[in-house]
Structure 1
Amino acid sequence: MATRLRSDAAANRAKILEVARAAFADEGLEISMEEIARRAGLAPATLYRRFPTKEALAAAAFAEQLAACAHVLDVALADPDPWRGFCRFILKLCTQQHRDRRFLSAFTAAFPHRTEFEIFRQRAHEQFAQLVRRAQETGSLRHDFDPADLSLILLASGGINAGTREMTTAASRRLASYLVQAFRSDRATPLAPPLRIPLDLPGSRQS
């Protein structure tokens, strides 16, 4: 019986976070806890028992989003083909950017003093630089690609608005596909120097 209760509690928590992430992404942090409980098919008391405040709920959802992005980087670095890992990371990141952007922007604006994002961002910077270096060492990635160029990719992708989230995500993936082809070393021509634009991961602060 205890195992069943633990299983139910875990399922309820997963359902709450799934619904909360989608709700925060679509509507920002303004959505009420009661509405999130309703969409999850749970009583408000069940939601409050696990997450007493909206900040606690948003922080748990935020942590899962950071973990998802960290996993994408880990998978890219583990790929025996660094170029393939690099391309997959760019495509996946652009997809996540549009799925999560409003929530991530709202969270970092509402709770600017939480340390999770800064710790993650520093780790992501270091891992992406490592991924870039490995892909360049294979001769596949153009030698003048700079890790800071990821900011330009996110800015370009983040500017897309094709109406629905699905259409916007699809357009972003197509743009990313074009871009990764331009990053190949066998298509390289001289570029202007890289720009040092503050980088936000897993999405930009644009809305």
Structure 2
Amino acid sequence: MATAQSPRPLRKDASINRERLLDAARELFAEKGLGVTLNDIAHHAGVGVGTAYRRFANKEEIIDTLFEERLQAVESVACAALDEPDPWLALSFYLRRALQMQFGDRGLQQILDDQTLGDERINDVRLRIAPLIVELVYRAKEAGVIREDFEPTDVTFVLSAMASIMDSTRDVAPDLYERYLTFMLDGIRSGDRQFTPLPTAALSSETTHTAMTRRRRKPKVVDAKRTTSQ
């Protein structure tokens, strides 16, 4: 009975070229956005265009690879946070580390808005990361260390708001976002005080997903009847 063979590992030079292409893509995406071509990436990496196309069929494969790397990194941070026995330290650690990763990953923030990933890849975030955040928040609420009306979906918008601050101040005051993160953390931490009632409820997971992906362009739907009639 035949068995499926695992993919052959890349030769050392092929593996080096692949990493050079990924490093070049990160730099160009950060500087110019996702509009660069695979040819641009190859030139920036210092490899031939033919070499680039042997490693990646197109730019979308590079985007998908970088997205998976980022997703794995965020997942690892969330798992590390859950290993922290102190619920407050766990939640604050996750928020701080997630923001530090965004700060060093400026160009890849655009990837979540890119249509080439498809809804399946975006849903990976919800399936793999969201349950970990839910556990972090509920542990903190059960321990009584954060306000009762703070919800897991609030984490998404806190990170989004902090990312905006980082983008606008990174060149003049790169640590400024820490000031506002401190305000936010103090604002959700419980203690011997009364919290101001929130003016509106937190969004559901589904509504949060819609809000965070609404700017993504949707692929055009081809009219099958028109296509066959032409």
Aligned residue runs from structure 1 range 26-175, under 5 A: 26-100=31-105, 102-106=107-111, 108-111=113-116, 113-160=118-165, 163=168, 165-167=170-172, 170-175=175-180
The answer (yes or no) to whether the contact 1:29–1:107 under 8 Å persists in 2 is no
Determine the C-alpha separation between the residues in 2 that align with 1:88 and 1:204.
29
**One of 16, 21, 24 as aligned partner of 1:11:** 16
**One of 202, 219, 222 as aligned partner of 1:195:** 202
Q: Which has the higher helix share?
A: 1
Give % identity: 30
Number of aligned pairs?
202
The one-character-per-residue Cα deviations of 1:43-84 (angstroms, maximum 9, x if unpaired) are: 222221110211111111111111111111111112222211
RMSD: 3.1
Q: Which has the larger radius of gyration?
A: 2
Unaligned runs of 5+ in 2: 1-9, 217-230
C-alpha displacement of 1:101: 5.5
The answer (yes or no) to whether the contact 1:162–1:168 under 8 Å persists in 2 is no
Q: Where does structure 1 differ by over 6 angstroms across 4 or more consecutive aligned residues? A: 202-206
Residues 204, 72 of structure 1: alpha-carbon distance in 2 compared, 3 angstrom cutoff: farther
Unaligned runs of 5+ in 1: none
Residues 97, 191 of structure 1: alpha-carbon distance in 2 compared, 3 angstrom cutoff: farther
C-alpha displacement of 1:10: 2.7
Structure possessing the higher relative contact order (Cα contacts under 8 Å, 6 or more residues apart): 1
Q: TM-score, normalised by structure 1?
A: 0.80
The one-letter amino acid of 2:195's match is T
